[in-house]
């Protein structure tokens, strides 16, 4: 049976921790290992942080996190209605950052890809970005 939840967060860095805990609590019913849970929390942290920092650049906005559990498959979508990404391929390159002055490492998408089973990024300049991550829980 499928289970779904949607959470809307103000795009403020203080809400990143809440998003991590919410994702962990939602995934808990799938009985993940400690390592799987840590992977999920890390990937969510990166996705939400990217939406806040790059999507809104200090302006007011909201971040939506949708989670679905179906069987042992967890799907997490993080989206914003911020500035969008002009070149997704470039943005996904390891070490690329559009904010070097903020000492960003440019590893957000790489981290998401390495901790989750799949990562899809869609974006439109001026309309926002959506990141969809999946992870099969082996428990």
pLDDT in tens, 122-135: 999 999 999 999 99
CA distance 108 to 111: 5
Q: Is 107 left (phi over 0), alpha (psi -120 to 50) or beta?
A: alpha
Q: Which long-range contacts (CB under 8 A, 24 or more apart) does 87-90 make?
A: 88/121, 88/122, 88/123
Q: What is the pLDDT of residue 42?
A: 95
Q: Given 15, 16, 46, 130, which residue is catalytic? A: 46
Is 29 tagged catalytic? no
Q: Given 12, 20, 62, 104, which residue is catalytic? A: 104
Is 104 tagged catalytic? yes
CB 53 within 8 A of CB 9: no
Q: Is the pLDDT of residue 99 over 80?
A: no
Q: Is 106 left (phi over 0), alpha (psi -120 to 50) or beta?
A: left
- 19-61 pLDDT, tens digit per residue, is 999 999 999 999 999 999 999 999 999 999 999 988 898 889 9
Q: Which residue has the tokens 């949607």?
A: 6
Q: What is the pLDDT of residue 109?
A: 84
DSSP string, 23-49: HHHHHGGG---HHHHHHHHHHHHHHHH
Question: How many CB atoms neighbour CB 64 within 10 A?
Answer: 16
Report which listed range, 60-69, 96-105, 108-117, is most confident.
Answer: 60-69
Mean pLDDT of the chain: 90
């Amino acid at each position: 049976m499928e289970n779904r939840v949607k959470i809307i967060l103000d795009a403020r860095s203080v809400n990143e921790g809440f998003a991590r805990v919410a994702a962990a609590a939602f995934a808990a019913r799938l009985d993940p290992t400690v390592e799987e849970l840590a992977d999920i929390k890390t990937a969510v942290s990166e996705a939400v942080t990217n939406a806040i920092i790059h999507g809104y650049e200090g302006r007011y906005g909201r971040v939506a996190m949708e989670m679905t559990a179906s069987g042992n498959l967890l799907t997490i979508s993080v989206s914003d209605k911020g500035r969008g990404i002009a070149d997704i391929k470039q943005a996904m390159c390891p070490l690329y950052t559009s904010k070097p002055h903020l000492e960003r490492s440019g590893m957000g998408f790489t981290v998401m890809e390495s901790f989750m089973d799949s990562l899809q990024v869609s974006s439109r300049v001026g309309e926002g970005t959506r990141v969809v991550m999946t992870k099969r829980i082996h428990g």
